[in-house]
Structure 1
Amino acid sequence: MSRLNGKIAVVTGGNSGIGLASAIRFAEEGAQVVIVGRRQEELDKALQLIGPGAIAIQGDISNLADLDRIYAQVKATKGRIDIVFANAGLGDFQPIGAITEASFDRTFGINVKGTLFTVQKALPLMSAGGSVILTGSTTATMGTPAFSVYSATKAALRNFARSWALDLKGTGIRVNVLSPGPISTPGLDLALSGTGQKDAIIDAMVAQIPLDRIGKPEEVAAAALFLASDESSFMTGSEMFVDGGFAQV
């Protein structure tokens, strides 16, 4: 239980779901974890689950001033970053014809702009051996009804990893995408609740998953641990799916 011993890990969206499960797993493996999220109350609750040594910083990753403040605090308290898990993201179900400008701006602002600057502003604190993980999605490679804007943001992240792997050549910093399929998280529950068809949509997804169930955040966290650790030292620009076969068959 020491695959990340002594490493400093920053996890955005670390207050719930995949981010929280990963922060817990990173801490169990010896990392000093910094979680970032927009809601202080949820951050405080998450810290109790992660355990001693973790810190939480409130902020919105789509706000560049917030990111500057976040990384200034990380630099002051930790001195460096070894792992960036750019996990924060969101999405609304809106079919073409009903997509609003506000929803588009919010989704691209957090998922694309926020992820870009989360990584770019972390780089000065990183060095050879560092790992950047972007949370992608099976939706980046599949058609998903009423979810095109979210899906497009995740497709953008997939190319970010390919392009940044080339930009970072010679630095020793790796960047990879972790793409979950349907996972039981508060975020999924919130997105589906707004449709009025939550149970029917989940049943339809499960019917397409070879493992015949939706996944758990802890299962994605196990893959995040691999990408964060030196065990994935010869991986960059890659995509790892944790989707029960959803987008693979």
Structure 2
Amino acid sequence: MTDRFKSKVVVVTGGTSGIGLAIAKAFVAEGAAVFITGRRQEVLDAAVKKIDGRVTGVRADMSKLADIDRVYDAVQQQHAQIDVIIANAGGGTMLPLGAITEEQYQQTFDTNVKGTIFTVQKALPLLKDGGSIILMSSNAGSSGTPAFSVYGASKAAVRNLARSWILDLKDRHIRVNVVSPGPTDTIGLTDVFGGGKQAQGIKDYLATQIPVGRVGEPEEIAKATLFLASDDASFINGAELFVDGGITQI
């Protein structure tokens, strides 16, 4: 590891497991002071122990504006500014068109779209000019998936936010980029597919459809996120980086 993010302050929403946890670990390993969020205190505390470094956990549901304010209040108690925002908190459930409910729609869009919008908006007073924003989308936002249309639509919206925000933020030289993972071996993916043998069977099938022959690992998504947030990506803005083994390209 290098010290690319030494003395940098990074906020990773949804940082208690899976991709978010891997991202938080990677930034800490590169010298950053990291703040993570999670909805359940016991899970948040466990994640802080796993990361074991310059990390602060803040309990927050990022679909609730008061909770978002609490996150940035916690940052301000320790730091004058933020260098990087990773809007990673999100999720979804599978329902075919005929079974979609208002509750599923509201929960998915509140978490994935509303949460992303206000996570970024409320960070702006603290975000350093020349800083970096990474939005977490999904390959599901660019390709169809049975029974996953609400989730896919929410992630397509997240991707599109970046296109406008790079214009809104151009005078501050803040870059906004998007990471779109493909199927990644996380607890979240297992839960979406029903858990146990059923989930493993679906993951095994997906591996046969991905050109590299396997699903991704959270650490691979984290490496891509580190790159886009770093000075190595200083001329990359408004881009969507697919970290999906090539599945979206075929």
Which residue of the partner structure matches residue 217 of structure 1? 218
Residue aligned with 1:133, SS: strand
The answer for the alignment partner of 1:97 in structure 2 is 98
* 8 Å CA contact 1:180, 1:220 repeated in 2: yes
SS for the counterpart of 1:130 is: strand
Matched residue pairs, number? 249
1:112-191 alignment runs, 5 A limit:
112-191=113-192
CA drift at 1:120? 0.5
**Residue pairs, 1:60-75, within 5 angstroms:** 60-75=61-76
Q: What is the match of residue 237 of structure 1?
A: 238
Structure 2 stretches lacking a partner, 5+ long: none
1:22 matched to which residue of 2?
23
RMSD: 1.3
1:190-236 Cα offsets, whole Å, 9 max, x none, are 11116984233223311210011001000000001101111111111
Q: Which whole-Å deviations, capped at 9, do the CAs of 1:70-106 have from their partners, x for residues lacking one?
A: 1111112222110000001010010000011111100
Query: Is 1:77 aligned to residue 78 of structure 2?
Result: yes
More moved, 193-202 vs 142-151: 193-202
Instruction: Give yes or no for contact 1:93–1:195 (8 Å, CA) kept in 2.
Output: no
The 5-angstrom pairing of residues 37-52 of structure 1 reads 37-52=38-53
**1:107-155: CA deviation from partner (whole Å, max 9, x where unpaired):** 0000000010000000110122211000111011101000000000000
TM-score by length of 1: 0.97
Partner of 2:8: 7
Name the counterpart of 1:56: 57
1:176 counterpart SS class = strand
Question: 1:96 and 1:195 mapped to 2: Cα distance?
Answer: 25
What letter corresponds to residue 210 of structure 2 in structure 1? Answer: I
Over 3 Å counting, the alpha-carbon distance change for 1:4 and 1:152 in structure 2 is same
Q: Match for 2:168: what amino acid?
A: D
- Contact 1:161/1:175 (8 A) holds in 2: yes
**Over 3 Å off, 4+ runs:** 194-197
Gap regions ≥5 residues in structure 1: none
Q: Deviations over 1:135-189 (max 9, x none)?
A: 1110111010000000000000111011101111111111000000000011111
Q: Answer yes or no: is the 8 Å Cα contact 2:190–2:200 preserved in 1.
A: no
Q: Aligned with 2:178: secondary structure? A: strand
Q: Is the 8 A contact 1:127 1:172 kept in 2?
A: no
SS of the residue 2:72 aligns to: helix
Q: Is the 8 A contact 1:60 1:67 kept in 2?
A: yes
Q: Which amino acid aligns with 1:221?
A: A
SS at match of 2:74: helix
Checking the alignment, whether the CA contact within 8 Å between 2:32 and 2:54 is kept in structure 1 is no
